[in-house]
Structure 1
Amino acid sequence: MRRATARLLQLLCCLLVLAGLSGSAMRMQVPVEAPSPDQANEGSAATSSDDPLSAPLSDSKADAPPQQPPAVGEPDAPKPAGQAAAVGGEPLKGTPVAESKAAAPSGPPGPWQLVFDEEFDVLDPAVWTPYWFRDCHPDSKKNGVKTCSSNVSVVNGEARLQLSDPGSGALLSTNPKDGVPGHVGFEYTTGYVEARIYFPGTCSGGIDNWPAWWTTGQKFPANGEIDIAEPLKGTMSTVYHSPAGHPAKWFTGCYAGGFHTYGVHRKAGSNDIYFDGKLEFSYPTSDGNAPHYLILNVGLWGDRQTLGPEGAVRVDWVRAWK
């Protein structure tokens, strides 16, 4: 009886083992149904959102430059009243002063060090203000006209100053004390400043309008005024204004319709004027060697009137050495 019972138990165990193996085999043989495309997308999307590390990189901005967050409590500075938002139809852009394209001035020889170089690739509002204190205002006139930023443009590496009508001209100034926010400007004392300028007109008819390239100080006439190149009634001249007198020279050559260089070597007690690298005029000064800033402008002299681009003063560059 015991033997029969033991055999029966062994038989039952074998049957159970065989049944278990058969069940495993049957489960392995059941086909697994592939997910549909929609189900696959849903699954991957869920995985991406649930696991940031597995998210796709198709929209990654790892290669983009980092952007600075806006400063808290520092809104954009308001544009000052009367300040030009654009010159020549393009936004004003600042640019660092470029390295000189000339080793030395074309005028006086010497071991000069460049301290200012404006090539007019853009108009730098930190250096230049394109009007005389107030933009296109009837109380801010020079050479008989309002000075309007809309009449200043930068074209092909040149600053161009023109008249849009008989009462509206143009001006560029480096006066650091003109009150325009962000304007650093430029001043000099002893040294040499020079500009390459095109004055419109013809040799037979003279120079158009009333343009000028000059420097002056904060107090006139005590600090003096150096009109390096100033066509008066169509004829080129250079004039110095001070309480002690007004030495001047008139030029008989042709300075209309072409580029020329005009510079002044400012020394303690005297000035030397250079045209195209040649010393043309020397005179004593009485301005105490006060700091001077740079000015380029165009206005009207009587009926000598050429409006628009045809009458524009074109400035290739302005440089200063010490």
Structure 2
Amino acid sequence: MNNPAKPFLALILFLAVNAHCAETKFAPLPLEGQTFIHDPSTIVKEGGRFYIFGTGPGIRTKSSPDLIHWTNGDSIFRAPPAWATKAVPGLRNSMWAPDVIRVDGKFYLYYSVSTFGKQTSAIGLATSPTLDPSATNYFWTDCGAVIESNTNSPFNTIDPSAFLDADGKLWLAFGSYWQGIFLTELDPQTGQRLGTNSPLYHLAWNHSIEASCLTRHDNFYYLFVNWGQCCKGTNSTYEVRVGRAEKITGPYLDRDGKKLTDGGGSPFLETSGRFIGPGHIGIVDDGNTNGQTQFSYHYYDADTQGKSRLAIGKIDWSDGWPVAVNDATNDWQLVWHDEFDTNGPPDPANWNYERGFVRNQELQWYQPENAFCTNGLLVIEARHEHKSNPNFVTNSTNWKTSREWIDYTSASITSRRLREFKYGKFEMRARIDTRLGSWPAFWTLGATPGIRWPAGGEIDIMEFYTGTVLANFGYSLDRKTKWLAVKKPVAELGGDAWSKEFHIWTMEWDEKKINLLLDGKLMNHLDLADADNADRGNPFHGPVYFILNEAIGGNSDGDPSQTKFPIRFEVDWVRVYQRSN
């Protein structure tokens, strides 16, 4: 942020396994709290929390503010609905493999009632206007059975998976063993089948298949299914296979062109280390359309005698096929984070403020009141307001004191002397305003006492101005600032549509290198061996602190005079991981 000529970057480093390997070496995100679950649903974000549902009495529920820390909630049903005990005689209150989907502002929850190992089964539906149990309108309405099966059926109606296609049509995939996975269209208004005789499409078959999940990427629909046996702890043989189709109704083919109805299926996720029998995946619905796909699933944990735990992974796309990304997250430990979930000013244990006119002849006056937390976001708001400069000095030649008036205000918060880190993975999820004059940044400066900028080093994890996203490294070479900068025009990223979405910027930093990424794609790289200062040694082997700010104009050449204010820099979270060793 100290030099407008430098570009800014965003980062995230993922090391993908070979997409063609039969065994996927994969480790999920490090989760904390109450993570025991079986047959997890899709994870859906509403407001500032994520919600998930699982097999158990009355349908188990969990929620999290950040996908990392999970707590249990109350079950959906106190007792099974009357129709369910009639459809499945002897049914207790255990309901299986729920799935949840958001449709036109309300939530449909599908679930199974069944007799283990038999086709006497049914899929039910409950609806609610919200997933938040604290909301006044939180209430689940039982809508009865959607589809049933018996010993004369070619399928078993368990493991529902709901999906909205590219045309806005609502579908339900389901099935287990017998003849495999089937699909039927639903009425989006009711969540029920279009009719009792509406078409059923056969999607996949294997001698042991269940737990289907549909998603779409680019021009294909993808069907994930489980092969093998579940529910046997560390002896479980669950694995996830995948196929794709041009139409949601199929036919689905694997990489080798074999139909899934003929037993085809390309490997996606298998047992690896302590993560035994992974399965029942769902695509995380977090409202994020930036192309980064996350998925949930359960596995049997060899470290806890085979108990079933929740896991969350990430998907990369290689040659049109999904790959479970291995970014060695099992070696990372979450050491600090701010989710900005408490309304009011930023947490004073994490952040302090810069004040006044600070750098780069920028137009804004920094003041604390322009930074606040609301609805699970940190908002740094730049405003067009006119007031006198309290530091004004007549005939001053210093730009900070020669301005009689303040025309713009904003905020800059810093973790200096509060949260400082050496090495690790630093991530921010945020949305930036890309209109003319806006100059937001997420960056670091060296925290080593007595070493000032630029000798202390600067890393711009995210910076934007005049239509360009930048990623930069800055340090002192021959007592002059050296910049290693990368620029990416917003027009190439997606233009106005890109600007309306949240994105993830990442820095991965160790003793040898730094990588900066935007939405998982590498933007800039620095080998630390090439970054020695001429006079102060290497600046990137010492601790750093964060700065989050929204500047206006100044040396960025961004004229804000025609821009309608306010301008907002919105941050969902900032997280720091470090290696466990």
TM-score (norm 2): 0.33
- Give distance in 1, aligned partners of 2:575 and 2:412: 18
Q: Deviation digits for residues 100-144 of structure 1, max 9, x if unmatched?
A: 534889798111100111100122111111x21xx4x34x45771
Q: Which has the larger radius of gyration?
A: 1
Letter in 2 for 1:159: L
| Contact in 1 for aligned 2:472/2:524 (Cα 8 Å) | no
| Contact in 2 for aligned 1:224/1:241 (Cα 8 Å) | yes
Given the alignment, which residue of 248, 271, 295 partners 2:514? Answer: 271
Secondary structure class of the residue paired with 1:312:
strand
- 1:243 paired residue number: 476
Say yes or no: does 1:109 pair with 2:309: no
Mark the CA change 1:170 to 1:240 in structure 2 (over 3 Å): closer, same or farther: same
- 2:576 paired residue number: 320
Secondary structure class of the residue paired with 2:499:
coil
| Contact in 2 for aligned 1:207/1:231 (Cα 8 Å) | no
Mark the CA change 1:162 to 1:266 in structure 2 (over 3 Å): closer, same or farther: same
Mark the CA change 1:104 to 1:297 in structure 2 (over 3 Å): closer, same or farther: farther
Letter in 1 for 2:551: G
- Give distance in 2, aligned partners of 1:238 and 1:220: 18
Secondary structure class of the residue paired with 1:124:
coil
Higher relative contact order, chain-length normalized (CA < 8 Å, sep 6+):
1
Map 1:204-283 onto structure 2 (within 5 A): 209-218=438-447, 219-244=452-477, 245-252=482-489, 253-254=493-494, 255-283=498-526
Shift, 1:99, TM fit? 8.3
Say yes or no: does 1:148 pair with 2:367: yes
Shift, 1:167, TM fit? 3.1
Letter in 2 for 1:214: W
Given the alignment, which residue of 159, 168, 172 partners 2:409? Answer: 168
Mark the CA change 1:295 to 1:267 in structure 2 (over 3 Å): closer, same or farther: same
Shift, 1:208, TM fit? 5.3
| Contact in 2 for aligned 1:199/1:208 (Cα 8 Å) | no
Secondary structure class of the residue paired with 1:231:
strand
Map 1:1-322 onto structure 2 (within 5 A): 101-102=67-68, 109-110=327-328, 111-122=331-342, 123-129=346-352, 131-132=353-354, 135=355, 137-138=356-357, 140-141=358-359, 144=362, 145-165=364-384, 166-176=407-417, 185-201=418-434, 209-218=438-447, 219-244=452-477, 245-252=482-489, 253-254=493-494, 255-285=498-528, 286=531, 287-301=539-553, 302-304=558-560, 306=563, 308-309=565-566, 311-322=567-578
Mark the CA change 1:143 to 1:127 in structure 2 (over 3 Å): closer, same or farther: farther
- Give distance in 1, aligned partners of 2:431 and 2:368: 20
Q: Deviation digits for residues 153-177 of structure 1, max 9, x if unmatched?
A: 111010001112243221111111x
Unaligned runs of 5+ in 1: 1-97, 177-184
- Give distance in 1, aligned partners of 2:368 and 2:564: 15
- Give distance in 2, aligned partners of 1:175 and 1:189: 13
- Give distance in 1, aligned partners of 2:484 and 2:381: 29
Shift, 1:282, TM fit? 1.0
- Give distance in 2, aligned partners of 1:215 and 1:189: 11
| Contact in 1 for aligned 2:436/2:559 (Cα 8 Å) | no
Mark the CA change 1:216 to 1:112 in structure 2 (over 3 Å): closer, same or farther: same
- 2:79 paired residue number: none
- Give distance in 2, aligned partners of 1:143 and 1:101: 40
Unaligned runs of 5+ in 2: 1-63, 69-310, 315-324, 385-406, 532-538
Q: How many residues align?
A: 207
- Larger fraction in strand: 2
| Contact in 2 for aligned 1:226/1:241 (Cα 8 Å) | yes
RMSD: 2.6
Q: Deviation digits for residues 52-104 of structure 1, max 9, x if unmatched?
A: xxxxxxxxxxxxxxxxxxxxxxxxxxxxxxxxxxxxxxxxxxxxxx9853488
Mark the CA change 1:238 to 1:303 in structure 2 (over 3 Å): closer, same or farther: same
| Contact in 1 for aligned 2:471/2:523 (Cα 8 Å) | no
Secondary structure class of the residue paired with 2:347:
coil
Shift, 1:189, TM fit? 1.1
- Give distance in 1, aligned partners of 2:313 and 2:576: 8
Shift, 1:307, TM fit? 5.7
Secondary structure class of the residue paired with 1:221:
coil
- Give distance in 1, aligned partners of 2:456 and 2:336: 21
- Give distance in 1, aligned partners of 2:372 and 2:459: 25
Mark the CA change 1:288 to 1:211 in structure 2 (over 3 Å): closer, same or farther: closer
- 1:60 paired residue number: none
| Contact in 2 for aligned 1:237/1:250 (Cα 8 Å) | yes
Shift, 1:304, TM fit? 3.4
| Contact in 1 for aligned 2:338/2:574 (Cα 8 Å) | yes
| Contact in 2 for aligned 1:200/1:258 (Cα 8 Å) | no
Letter in 2 for 1:303: D
Mark the CA change 1:105 to 1:160 in structure 2 (over 3 Å): closer, same or farther: farther
Letter in 1 for 2:351: W
- Give distance in 2, aligned partners of 1:162 and 1:296: 12
| Contact in 1 for aligned 2:65/2:339 (Cα 8 Å) | no
Secondary structure class of the residue paired with 1:220:
coil
Mark the CA change 1:298 to 1:284 in structure 2 (over 3 Å): closer, same or farther: same
Identical-pair percentage = 28
- Give distance in 1, aligned partners of 2:326 and 2:547: 22
Shift, 1:300, TM fit? 1.2
- Larger fraction in helix: 1
Secondary structure class of the residue paired with 1:243:
strand
Mark the CA change 1:211 to 1:217 in structure 2 (over 3 Å): closer, same or farther: same
Secondary structure class of the residue paired with 2:483:
coil
Mark the CA change 1:143 to 1:157 in structure 2 (over 3 Å): closer, same or farther: farther
Letter in 2 for 1:320: V
